[in-house]
Chains A and B, each alone.
Chain A
Amino acid sequence: MKPKHNWADDQMRVEGIIGTLLRTGVLVAAAIVLAGGVLYLAGHPTARPSYHQFNSEPAEFRSVMGIFRDAIALHSLGLIQLGILFLIATPISRVAFTVFAFAEERDWMYVSITLVVLALLLYSVFARH
């Protein structure tokens, strides 16, 4: 027979992994945004930004695929958007990881609850609004 699971130990381990996941995600996102920002400022030192008027961003900055295409081509603004996308993905991957953590505990009710949250988040990021 399997030894009885120590639930508190599991909880601590899961929380440790979640903490590392969140910290790494934020730092990687910030590094990508910083790289894109430096690249942009170096290439356009005299540009004059104007945000008084709202004009929606170009389509390439508005979809996951568009951002990836731009970032791979090393366009500075595409890189910044990629970092932002990475940041948005950080709490989402935390939710995805929690699905596995609950599944390991065989807590199917919370696996379902977490899957609902995950589905709503993926809808938000991938659907066109």
Chain B
Amino acid sequence: MNVAEFSALVFLAALVAGFLGALTGLGGGVVIVPVLSLLFGVDMRYAIGASLIAVIATSSGSAAAYVKDGYSNIRVGMFLEIATVLGALSGALVAVHISLSVLAIVFGVVLLYSAYISARKQPEFPATESPDRIATLLKLGGTFPTPQGLRSYNVQGVPAGFSLMFGAGILSGLLGIGSGAVKVIAMDRAMHLPFKVSTTTSNFMIGVTAAASAGIYLSRGYIDPILTMPVMLGVLTGALAGTKVLTKVRVGPLRILFGIVVAFLALEMMYNGFTGRF
């Protein structure tokens, strides 16, 4: 296979990943590493480097659309970015000392968990609870638009949310993914932010988290221009198209299909990790 054919195939795969990722809310980045390493035989380190760049592109692209809707909470995002960025730096720095087999197994577990989380219905917490002390000190509460006008909410469980975010950062730096599922859990379950607020704020944060690890991966030589080019352009185009048709198609069946594909990739990653094929 010459470089033009290779780039075209990778571009197509990334396009589909980005499209389905945007439609299902899982994000395209989460399948880039398994697709590149399992289907194209790319070394996991190059795959992780390319995936991080794809994650920054999709997150920044879609955050640009969401941020104007007034859902994302910039204070919550910026405060928690201390945790995710520290986590991402730690994850990226220790990644070189971890064997690829172990990375593949961890990747499989995280992938399965993300698929499970996105398939489940999210409970909504009442937005009128009184805030905890730290949340008040940090002015984390906010408002979001509803058909009945602006609704205000308070924030709970700041230490738990902050710790979970550190974990999300580590996974992002280790595996080259956005860790959107863990971020949403931290804001939704631990801090009781309204679901729309936690998903858009998470999206907002993913690009910053990924940029923190991308710097380290770039200087370590994990980001290859020829491989990253079709991955970045494909995922970005797919994600933009996915966001465009999101309101026009029924995503239910697609979501299940994508969930099955993700679960299959997760098991294959774990199998290859256990049999030491990386």
Q: Which residues of A contact B (CB under 8 A)?
A: 8, 11-12, 14-16, 18-20, 22-23, 25-26, 29-30, 33-34, 36-37, 40-41, 44-49, 51-54, 56-58, 61-63, 77, 80-81, 84-85, 87-88, 90-92, 94-95, 98, 107, 109-110, 113-114, 116-117, 120-121, 123-129
Contacts and interface: CB of A to CB of B under 8 A. Distances in A.
B228 A109 contact: no
Interface residues of B, number: 65
Interface of B: 1-4, 6-7, 36, 40-43, 45-46, 53, 56-57, 59-61, 63-65, 67-68, 70, 72, 74-75, 78-79, 81-82, 85-86, 89, 92-93, 138-139, 143, 207-208, 210-216, 218-230, 232-233, 236
Contacts of B74: 11, 14-15, 98
Given A37-B7, A63-B219, A117-B81, A45 B232 contact: no
Contacts of A61: 221, 223-225
Contacts of B42: 51-52
B43 A88 contact: no
A77 B2 CA distance: 17
A128 B217 CA distance: 10
A30 B89 CA distance: 25
Given A90-B207, A124-B212, A53 B57 contact: no
A22 B229 contact: no
B232 A84 contact: yes
27 contacts: A11-B70, A22-B67, A26-B57, A26-B60, A41-B7, A46-B2, A48-B2, A49-B3, A51-B40, A51-B41, A51-B42, A54-B46, A61-B224, A80-B229, A87-B60, A91-B56, A91-B60, A91-B210, A92-B211, A98-B78, A107-B139, A110-B75, A113-B78, A117-B208, A120-B82, A124-B215, A127-B219
A41 B3 contact: yes
Contact of B233 (A33, A114, A124): A33
Q: Which of B40, B61, B222, B225 has the most CB of A within 10 A?
A: B225
Nearest to B61: A26
Nearest to B52: A88
Contacts of A15: 67-68, 70, 72, 74
A45 B4 contact: yes
